[in-house]
Amino acid sequence: MDPKKKTKEDPKKKKKKKKEPPFPLPTWAEELEAVEQQIKLINSLIKNALELQLSQDFLADSKTELLRFKMEVSYRKQQEEDARLEAEAKALAKKKKAKK
């Protein structure tokens, strides 16, 4: 063996982390309109909380879920808008390329 050549031992291989499956969407949340309907339903239940004798804990939880729903709706609308703009840009680029 040549003393100048250093033998490198295999460095420890990093273990790959298992990817967590994405959060499963409930069937009513697959379409944006259905989510908006659920928001309206929860709002109407909150307005009738006194008549329905809903607990304060349930109302607090419902309000936090409403905030999450509203954030999800705005996120999905933004995603749809981005996809639409990207498709328009591709179509415009394709049209310009065809003219040349």
The CB-side HSE value for 69 (13 A sphere, CA atoms) comes to 23
Confirm whether 14 is domain-assigned.
Answer: no
pLDDT band at 36 (very low <50, low <70, confident <90, very high): confident
Domain count, the chain: 1
In angstroms, the Cα distances linking 19 to 13, 15, 22, 23, 44 are: 18, 12, 9, 12, 39
Task: For residue 3, tell me if it sits in a domain.
Answer: no
Q: Residues 58-92: pLDDT tens digits?
A: 889 888 888 888 888 888 889 889 999 999 999 99
In a domain, 6, yes or no: no
Which residue range forms the structural domain that includes residue 49?
Answer: 29-99
* 0.95 surpassed by pTM: no
